[in-house]
Structure 1
């Protein structure tokens, strides 16, 4: 059985590499008249990766997500999301501490304690019900607080929009992930990772149609919205005004559309 699972896993990985290679060598041209920005020097490759991600979503992830929503009742899906969120509060606390925000770090630990005990392992978000604020921090944001530049924009296979700094941060996020590092049983670990991906996709399932209708160029909308959102998160929702034209880099303001998609 283990040999069969290993064989299937290798075949899936090889198929993914083939699909990605075909996608990257395909022509992903920039629409005529589209303004290029300095933060996106790899735009052609990024557009090709977006095509790959869209195809993967259309033919695999979205169908699985719809089956998941059909089979799993809403209360159970909420409980699953709360458990993942409870684990995430551990990393929120670590990153808040590294960013020099001890009060927020303590709040995150209080959330973990309350949700793990009263909330039965995080199934019920008792901390939010009690008014304990939830944060959303990661190593990419921590590196930004430390003064590390964000670098060029990147579109990552499966993971989606990122920057060089956020990609490095994601690597550290993975290295400290309890659900990945502490589960020795490979099938269980893979199943947990898959469930987390499907859960996250279910969270934004209703926003796909809005995104399609909100932008003439989907790629530019995703890129610009991502860069603006990450800058906002870096400054805890209160970023200073941009005064340098190079820093602003002609990125349009999509804040109202981002609110609709959220």
Structure 2
């Protein structure tokens, strides 16, 4: 199950629960009735300590001790996304036709098979290792270096493994929820995993630049980072503040956390 599908599924399950929770905060009808000798109280006022206990024990609860700071970063990401990323993505989609964009995505995906292979091996999953090796070989040889995703058409699905998932398989706890600038939802474990993936990607690209005879590694690295960022955003349908709910932050936090849990349990 892909990360996007996991998030979509959990998002769909979480939204009704949040709406029910909001509805439950309305004043009970009996408190709105005038006092009379015929009225029998059927409920009691909820104490603050009971509310806090229910929140701690709720299945929707995600450990978010820095929520105030995280919301500020979330708002910054939303503004940056609208002001910079989405206009760049729109220009990219206007200039380059769909087949070219698909080829770019396939090529980047084929490069990413190497860290996926490493993480599959570190997780001890022989099945994922085998599938990733087959995908890498098939798309590199028969897909013109990865421009065409031949492997998926043959039934060999992509194994989206990263170092954050590897740490989870090793038993590292997820830690507090974190919203990273530019990157978005994360947690303590995934933040460390993202750093590990970035280091791996850096040395991978340095090796490929040397192999291709590229002399200016710095410029090539910036181009690589920019193209990856635009390609990732173009393939991500999520838009900030478009969910028509004031609880978008809460729902996304829950959806991300549960989606990551499901990915680690696969």
What's the TM-score once normalised by structure 1's chain length? 0.73
Q: Is residue 110 of structure 2 the alignment partner of residue 78 of structure 1?
A: no
What is the CA-CA distance between 1:135 and the residue it aligns to? 0.6
Does structure 1 conserve the Cα–Cα contact (< 8 Å) formed by 2:62 and 2:254?
Answer: no
Does structure 1 conserve the Cα–Cα contact (< 8 Å) formed by 2:175 and 2:188?
Answer: yes
CA 1:157–1:92: 2 relative to 1, 3 Å: same
After the TM superposition, which residues 20-169 of structure 1 pair with which residues of structure 2 at under 5 Å, given as runs? 37=61, 39-169=63-193
Does structure 2 conserve the Cα–Cα contact (< 8 Å) formed by 1:179 and 1:189?
Answer: no
SS in 1 for 2:243: helix
Could you tell me which residue of structure 1 aligns to residue 46 of structure 2? none
Match 2:224 to one of 192, 202, 206? 192
Could you tell me which residue of structure 1 aligns to residue 233 of structure 2? 201
What is the CA-CA distance between 1:130 and the residue it aligns to? 1.4
Does structure 2 conserve the Cα–Cα contact (< 8 Å) formed by 1:179 and 1:192?
Answer: no
What's the TM-score once normalised by structure 2's chain length? 0.72
What is the CA-CA distance between 1:181 and the residue it aligns to? 3.8
Q: Which 4+ runs in 1 deviate beyond 3 A?
A: 33-38, 178-184
RMSD: 1.9
Does structure 1 conserve the Cα–Cα contact (< 8 Å) formed by 2:163 and 2:196?
Answer: yes
Task: Find the aligned partners of 1:49 and 1:116 in 2 and give their Cα distance.
Answer: 39
Does structure 2 conserve the Cα–Cα contact (< 8 Å) formed by 1:174 and 1:180?
Answer: no
Task: Find the aligned partners of 1:65 and 1:191 in 2 and give their Cα distance.
Answer: 15
What is the CA-CA distance between 1:212 and the residue it aligns to? 1.6
What is the CA-CA distance between 1:129 and the residue it aligns to? 1.3
Gaps of 5+ in 1: 1-32, 237-262
Larger radius of gyration: 2
Match 2:256 to one of 226, 231, 241? 226
Does structure 1 conserve the Cα–Cα contact (< 8 Å) formed by 2:62 and 2:253?
Answer: no
